[in-house]
Structures are given as C-alpha cells and as structure tokens.
Amino acid sequence: MNCRGQTLTFGESTHVMGILNVTPDSFSDGGHYLAAARAVARAQAMVAEGATLIDIGGESSRPGAVPVPTVEELARVVPVIRALADAVDVPLSVDTYKARVARDALEAGAHLVNDITALNGDSEMANVVAEMGAGVVLMHIQGTPRTMQQAPHYDDVIGDIRLWLQERVQFAEANGIAPERIIIDPGIGFGKTTAHNLEILKRLEAFRELNKPVLIGTSRKSFIGNVLALPVEERVEGTVATVCWAIAHGADIVRVHDVKAVVRAARMTDALSQ
C-alpha cells in the first residue's frame, strides 16, 4: 500500500499503530498530549518502541462524546502533524471524519485518514482521500459516539458488520479511492456490547473475506474492563491478550496506547504464526 510516498507492506509482520490523542477528554489519556511539544515527544517515543504508524486524533470518540468544532480540531492536530512529518519516519494517520480536517492534515504531512464513520460523516471525505492519494481506514460504527452505547443491537453481529463494511468498500472504490489503499476495521467498542466485541474477535477471520487489510483497536477498552473488572489504567495485560488473539486470527494492524508491550507481544505472535 503506497500512501502519499509512504509504503505499508502487509503479510510479513503486524503493524503496530500508536495512538496519539491531542484531546482533553479521550477516555484513557485525555489531556496528556494537548501541548504540541509533548505530543511530538510521545510520538517519537512510540516510534522508538517499535510503532510502525502513528494515529493522531483531535476529537474524542469515547462513548457519549460530543463533536468538536472543525476549527478547534484543526488547531489541535495540524501543528502536531506538521512537526511529526519531519520528526518521525513512519506513516502518519489522522483520526477524523471531517473532510476539511483530513485535507489540511494530509497537506501538513499525513498519509492516511482513519475515519470512524467509513466516509459517512462528511460527503466530501471520499473526494479528499481520492484526490490526495491517501490511504483510508473504513471503520464500522453503529450510531454516533454520543449514542452508540445506549442500546447496541444486531441480528447477526458478524454478518451485519461484514455486509456494512463491504458496502462502504464499494462506495470508496466507486468514488475513486484505489482498492489497494483501503483498510477495514470492525469497530471494537463502537456500538457494541461486551458480548459483541468478544464475538468479533472470536470470528475475526470472517472479515478477511473482504480481501482488505484488517485493523483492530481493542486498547484499554471497556469490554476488557468488564471481563477483568479492572479500571482503564490496569488493562494493559488484557489489551495484550486481545492483540495476540487478533494477530493469530488475521489482524494486520493493531491500534494501541501501550506500544512497547504490544510490539514485543506482536513480534512473538508473528513468529508463532509463521
């Protein structure tokens, strides 16, 4: 996958995407990296720990989160991406569903757009991704961050999500996004109960049928806390367990906060999977 001059190779080893939230209210690390200098330092540390991508987000998508004005999101992410474009040598992803934010972030040096709405949130997003030659992550979500955890329901959680992602892939390709620049994400925690999330992981191979790289984001999420009865700051081991399982069952990219621990676990799992 070539994204604006950066190449991602799949099938050799699992990519570890480090999470960089430049927000005051993200569920796990809100407020830690609002200052651009701290954000850049954190990204550099994650790369040193083995991250092969960095995902920068300026709007929290935690359950119950409210949208952030575009101008505020731009002020949070663009300076950080511009600084990181010269500070690290791994692909940069912008976590946004707003076309204006995506365009400015890509112009500042980002390579991918990680869209939690799978191009549904802004009618111009597909055009921006296609025009800029960016990669895109199409993630499944039921509802919006504000409403998604109120009453998630599926007739067939795997079948419903797989069909939805297939339709979004077709939409992306029909709107000029190159097939080889599309990644899919079943959206762990985005409109799903604990049982739904566990089922997605158990049957992760089903998403391989779409013939796209699969991204999984389980890091520190509430379903881990529900299973282990642990607060967010004590979910590292649970995260590592879900990452190892996901890699063994077909994940190509894992999106995490705890890069050092996950990189070590991922490399071991990769060796066992070969």
The one catalytic residue in 76, 192, 221, 235 is: 221
Determine which one of 4, 255, 260, 264 is catalytic.
Answer: 255
In angstroms, the CA 146 to CA 28 distance is 17
Distance (Å, whole) CA 165 – CA 235: 28
Contact status, residue 25 vs residue 31, Cβ threshold 8 Å: yes
Mark whether 181 is an active-site residue: no
Q: Classify each residue of 69-94 as buried b or exposed e, where b means 16 or more C-beta atoms within 10 Å of its C-beta.
A: ebeebbebbbebbbbbeeebebbbbb
Distant-in-sequence contacts of 243-250, Cβ < 8 A, 24+ apart: 243/216, 243/218, 243/269, 244/268, 244/269, 245/201, 246/201, 246/204, 246/216, 246/218, 247/14, 247/273, 248/272, 248/273, 249/201, 249/204, 249/205, 250/204, 250/205, 250/207, 250/208, 250/214
Q: Any idea which residue has 């089922």 for tokens? A: 199
Q: What amino acid positions are annotated as catalytic residues? A: 221, 255
